[in-house]
Structure 1
């Protein structure tokens, strides 16, 4: 996913997890990601994220399917296409800071 995001938007620097946690801890409260800080700063956060990444194929997409159907959007048949749809939407909404 990181490689895909880098290609779609702008290069992403990979840093050790502990360094990333330090950055999360210092985020301004106005940053939308700061709301997730308690999740990312847990002692077991790295293990939980790796576990989630390893089980992504088992992810339940029913909510996304329902919302996309309600909006009249075509639901992608594979997770990579679904990921691209979400990234394109977030990009169009100005979610990414490209500075």
Structure 2
């Protein structure tokens, strides 16, 4: 299969349509006309998502930052990386549930 395997680039279909949206937390800070045009709530097929990935991590990472404040820089970076990997793993585990 072309484009698969280690070090291979993904092939993207020429007729792929990319639709840009604004996260639900931020879309309300835009003009009122942006809400129906760019909110995932009104986009068919977008699913139930807020579109805010990084913002939802701050509460968790703030707790981790408090724990890591006395660690060396490499240990701190490793701890934060492990926490983000754990968050991603839990997110992947929940993707198959309906």
User: TM-score, normalised to structure 1's length?
Assistant: 0.29
Structure having the higher helix fraction is 1
Larger radius of gyration: 2
User: TM-score, normalised to structure 2's length?
Assistant: 0.29
